Structure 1
């Protein structure tokens, strides 16, 4: 069975997100833990969470993927920005304990003229501060497109971060198809080769989620502009190959494509389900 969902607004609560997911044919979903530009998170509504968990169990919605705000920069030069990142991540992970089996995805950050090695060290420092043995959420480093001074533009950079983290068993990777294609990994013509390189560098056992996004840019452009599935430079056949690949088909897939409303996600989910081989 294809486990696929999309990004939903958390403004109306978790039960509302679960119902929306079910209505559009999704079996999982992603949400921002707070305003994507930063700020404090809303107080948890434990009654809403309990109702959501019952609904999710009844409708087979799993696992929920929480996305950290874009302003979270673990390797910023400014120590106050790094402190915000640490505090935000720690708070988010504590909240996700209400959701067994949940995933927490974040952009590793931008080193901003400090250099990649310094950025990697600072990201690992943040993770060593917030990760705790026994925590239930798995923390995912997202693959990045390589624009500006982003860290995480290569599998080697992700592995370098993990190697410096004490509790690395709590880490995983979320592979964004638009990002890795823009970064120079040819998913269109060499999907098997890309997966082989990922396995040798990071390990496919650490790949826990995939963001399904087409790209408005050509290969290796080092930009980040998502397109609807089949309407960008990757093309529908590439996504059919990804969701059916024997090393990927068991993973949860999350759409982050540009849409006017959630109905657009429903159409893409139906399209991808029509291309999924149930064998």
Structure 2
């Protein structure tokens, strides 16, 4: 069975998101932990979170994915920005402990001219400050397209962050199809080779989630502009191969395509039809 969902708004609460996901034909979903362009966070509603836990158990949800705000940049050259990143991540992780089967995804950040090596060290420092041995939420580093001074533009940079993190058993990776394609990994013509490279550099056991997005731009463009499934440069044939690949087919997939809810429902139904028995 294909485990798939889309990005939903947390504004109406956790139980509402769970019900909305079911109405779209999904068995998981993604949400922002706080304002994606700022620092505001919803009041903690433990009862609502527990109600979602019960709903997910009844309907056999795949792990849901909490997404950190875009403003979280643990490798900024500005101490104030790094401090916000540390505080926001720690607070997010503490709140997510009330949810069952939830993972936490974040963009590694931008080194802003300091160099990738410095950025990698600063990101690992943040993780070493925020992670604790008893936490149940796995933290996922997202693969990036490599625009500007982004860290995580290739598998080697993701691996270096993991290696510098003391509690690396708490870390995994979210592979974004648009990002890796824009970053120069040919998942259209060389999917096997890309997965082999991921496995030899990071390890496929670290791969815990996939952001499934088409790309408006060509291979290696470093642009990061998402497109609807089958309407971009990756194409429906490649996505059919991705969702049916033995190393990927059992992972949860999360749509971040430019869609409304009806569009997400149509994409979810289409991808379910494309999954082979």
Range of TM-score over shorter length: over 0.9
The alignment's C-alpha RMSD in Å is 0.7
User: Equivalent residue for 1:50?
Assistant: 50
**Residue in 2 that maps onto 1:60:** 60
C-alpha displacement of 1:154: 0.3
The number of aligned residues is 277
Q: Look up the SS of the partner of 2:174 in the other structure.
A: strand
8 Å Cα contact 1:18/1:61 also seen in 2? no
2:29 alignment partner in structure 1: 29
Query: 1:263 maps to what in 2?
Result: 262
Q: Which residue of 2 aligns with 1:275?
A: 274
Runs of 4+ in 1 over 4 A off after TM superposition: none
Cα distance in 2 between the residues matched to 1:189 and 1:214: 15
Once residues 177 and 143 of structure 2 are traced to their aligned partners in structure 1, the CA distance between those partners, rounded to angstroms, is 9
Match of 1:86 in 2: 86
TM-score for the superposition, normalised by structure 1: 0.98
1:215 aligned partner: 215
Displacement, 1:266? Answer: 0.4
Query: 1:15-44 CA distances to partner (integer Å, 9 max, x unpaired)?
Result: 110000000100000000000012131111
State the distance in 2 between where 1:218 and 1:183 align: 10
User: In the alignment, does 2:226 pair up with 1:244?
Assistant: no
Structure 2: gaps spanning 5 or more residues:
none
Q: Distance in 1 between matches of 2:163 and 2:59?
A: 38
1:172-224: per-residue Cα shift (whole Å, max 9, x none)? 00000000000000000000000000000000000000000000001100111
Task: Say which SS state the counterpart of residue 5 (structure 1) adopts.
Answer: strand
Q: d(CA) in 2 for partners of 1:202 and 1:267?
A: 33
TM-score by length of 2: 0.99
Hey, what does 1:130 align to over in structure 2? Answer: 130
In structure 2, the partner of 1:233 is 233
CA apart distance, 1:101: 2.3
Match of 2:180 in 1: 180
Cα distance in 2 for residues equivalent to 1:15 and 1:155: 36
In 1, the alpha carbon distance for the partners of 2:62 and 2:44 equals 20
> What's the secondary structure of 1:28's corresponding residue?
coil
SS of the residue 2:97 aligns to: helix
**Which whole-Å CA distance do the structure 2 matches of 1:257 and 1:40 have between them?**
24
Gaps of 5+ in 1: none
Aligned counterparts of 2:178 and 2:159: Cα–Cα separation in 1? 20
